[in-house]
Amino acid sequence: MLDLANLLALSKPVVLETGHWIQSMVNDIGQEDIQYKGTNDLVSFVDQSAEKRLKEGLGKIFPEAGFVAEESASDYSEVGDGYYWVIDPLDGTTNFLHRLPIYAVSVGLIYNKQPILGLIYEPNRDELFYAAKGTGAFLNDRPIRVSDQNQVGRSLLATGFPYYDFSYQDQYLALLKELMQKSHGLRRMGAAAIDLAYTACGRFEGFFEANLKPWDVAAGKIIIEEAGGKVTNFSGGNEVIFEGEIIGAGPIFDEFLHILQSKWKP
C-alpha cells in the first residue's frame, strides 16, 4: 500500500526548492531566452531546467512512477493505469517572462489516470497548497476548504482565455457574457494551477477552462476535492486529466455547471 502521507512529505522539499530557484531567476530572463513552442506558447530555459530538477528529485523519491511533464511530453496518449508524476514546472510562463508575479510549480501524482496527490507552490506569496487522497487539503500546513457560498450570483469566478486554439471562441465569449451578468465577476490569472488552488481555499467560488493539458490540472483537481469541492469535465464526468476541460467549485457547482452547459455545445 502506497504511503501517500510520507510521499507527500518527501515531495514538498523538491517542489519548494524548485520554486525558490525559479524565483531567483525572474530578473535574469531576457528576450533572447524566450522560445516559441507554438502560437503564444512560450518557454524558456527556466521551464526546462525546473522540469529537470523536479524529475530528478521526484524520481529518487518514487522511482516506480513514470512522468508526464510539459516540456518533455510530446505525446501522452499512451499513458497507462499505473503511477505517473504529472508536472508543470512553471505554470504561468508568460506571466513569469513578463515579470507578472502570478506563476506556480504544479506537481500531481496520478494512478489509474486519477490524481491521488498534488502540490502547487506559488513562490511570490510563498504559498504551498497540497493534498493527498483521504487526508484533506492544506495551505502552508493549515487546513483549507472551498467557499461555502451557494449562489453563483454572489460568487467570484476564475477562467482562462483561449490563446492558441480559437475554434471555440464564440461560445466561450457567450458563456463569459452570461457569467459576467450572473456573478460578482470573472478573473483571468493566467495560470490554471493558481486558479484551482485559489478555488480550493475559497478565494474563488469556482473555476472553468477548456483546452487544458494534464499538467495544468492534475494537482489542482485533487486539492479541490480534498478541500470539499467537486471537479468534473464540462459533461459532468469524472474524466478530467486527459479531457482538456475542467470545472471545479464548492456548493455552487450544480448551478455553475448548468450555466456552462446552457452555452457550451460540444
- What confidence tens digit (pLDDT) does each residue in 184-227 have? 999 999 999 999 999 999 999 999 999 899 999 999 999 999 99
Report the alpha-carbon distance of residue 192 to residue 91 in Å, rounded. 7
Q: Which residues, including other chains, have CB under 8 Å from residue 184's CB and lie 6 or more apart?
A: 153, 154, 155, 156, 157
**What is the DSSP track for 201-245?**
TTSSSEEEEES--HHHHHHHHHHHHHTT-EEE-TTS-S--TTTSE
Kindly state the average pLDDT of the residues 149-177: 86
Q: Which residues, including other chains, have CB under 8 Å from residue 203's CB and lie 6 or more apart?
A: 147, 156
User: What are residue 111's phi and psi, to 5 degrees?
Assistant: -140, 130
What are the pLDDT digits (tens) for 92-142? 988 998 899 999 999 999 999 999 999 999 999 999 999 999 999 999 999
Q: Where in the chain is the domain with CATH 3.30.540.10?
A: 4-143
Report the alpha-carbon distance of residue 53 to residue 33 in Å, rounded. 19
* Residue 213 grid coordinates: 493539458
pLDDT of the residue at 75: 65
- The pTM (predicted TM-score) of the whole model is 0.93
pLDDT of the residue at 110: 97
pLDDT of the residue at 42: 47
Of 252, 234, 251, which Cα lies nearest the Cα of 243?
234
Report the alpha-carbon distance of residue 191 to residue 210 in Å, rounded. 13
DSSP code at position 72: T
Kindly state the average pLDDT of the residues 241-258: 96
Kindly state the average pLDDT of the residues 6-31: 91
Given a cut of 80, is residue 1 above it in pLDDT?
Answer: no
- Work out whether strand 142-143 and strand 156-159 pair parallel, antiparallel, or are unpaired: unpaired
Q: What number does CATH give the domain 152-263?
A: 3.40.190.80
Of 130, 99, 100, 87, which Cα lies nearest the Cα of 217?
87
| pLDDT-based confidence at residue 163 (cuts at 50, 70, 90) | low
Given a cut of 90, is residue 167 above it in pLDDT?
Answer: no
* Residue 262 grid coordinates: 446552457
Mean pLDDT, the chain, whole residue set: 91
Q: Where in the chain is the domain with CATH 3.40.190.80?
A: 152-263
Instruction: Could you please state the CATH topology (level 3) that the domain comprising 4-143 is classified under.
Output: Fructose-1,6-Bisphosphatase; Chain A, domain 1 (3.30.540)
CA 263 vs CA 11, 140, 170, 175, 256: distances in Å: 40, 38, 10, 6, 11
Q: Which residue has the higher pLDDT, 42 or 21?
A: 21
Largest CA distance in the chain: 50
Given a cut of 60, is residue 32 above it in pLDDT?
Answer: no
pLDDT of the residue at 143: 98
Beta bridge partners of 192: none
Kindly state the average pLDDT of the residues 65-86: 83
* Residue 230 grid coordinates: 467537486
DSSP code at position 63: T
| pLDDT-based confidence at residue 171 (cuts at 50, 70, 90) | confident
